[in-house]
Amino acid sequence: MNLSPLLETCSGTEAFKFQRIEQATAFLREAGLYPNYPRIESAGTEPEVVIDGRSTLMFCSNNYLSLSNRPEVKAAAAETLQAHGMGPGGSRCLCGNVAVLEDLDRSCAKLVGMPDAITFPTGYMANLAVFKGLLDPFLGIFPYRKGAAAVFCDEYNHATVMDGIALSHAKRVLYAHNDLAQLEAKLIKFADHSPKMIVTEGVFSLDGDVSPLAEIAELARKHGAILMVDDAHGIGLMGEHGGGTLEHLGLQGKADIVMGSFDKALGGMGGFLAASKTVVEYLRVAARPYMFSSTVPEVMASAMIASMDLCMNDPEPRRRLRDNAAFLKGRLEALGFTVLGNGSVPVVPVLIGDEDKAIEFGRRTFELGLYAPPFRWPSVPLKTARIRVTPMADHTREQLERAVVILAQVGRELGVCT
Catalytic residue positions, numbered: 205, 233, 264
**d(Cα 110, Cα 356) in Å, to the nearest integer?**
45
Single-letter code of the amino acid located at 93:
C
Laid out side by side, the sheet with 171-175 consists of: 116-120, 271-275, 257-261, 226-230, 196-201, 150-154, 171-175
Laid out side by side, the sheet with 370-371 consists of: 48-51, 54-58, 370-371
**d(Cα 183, Cα 68) in Å, to the nearest integer?**
38
For the chain, the maximum distance between any two Cα atoms, rounded to a whole number of angstroms, is 64
User: Strand 150-154 and strand 196-201: pairing?
Assistant: parallel
Q: 76: closest CA among 249, 308, 321, 354? A: 308
Give the HSE-up count for residue 28: Cα atoms under 13 Å, Cβ half-sphere. 12
Dihedral, 196, 146, 281, 294 alpha carbons, nearest 10: -120
Total Cβ atoms within 10 A of residue 323: 16
- The three-state secondary structure class of 66 is coil
Task: Write the DSSP string, 123-180.
Answer: HHHHHHHHHHHHHS-SBTTBSS-TT--EEEEETT--HHHHHHHHHSSSEEEEE-TT-H
Kindly give, in sequence order, each residue whose CB lies less than 8 Å from that of residue 115, ignoring residues fewer than 6 positions away: 109, 275, 276, 277, 280
End-to-end Cα spacing for the chain: 36
**d(Cα 160, Cα 177) in Å, to the nearest integer?**
17
Do 244 and 234 form a contact (C-beta atoms < 8 A)? yes
**d(Cα 203, Cα 260) in Å, to the nearest integer?**
11
Q: 244: closest CA among 264, 260, 255, 222? A: 260
**d(Cα 260, Cα 234) in Å, to the nearest integer?**
8
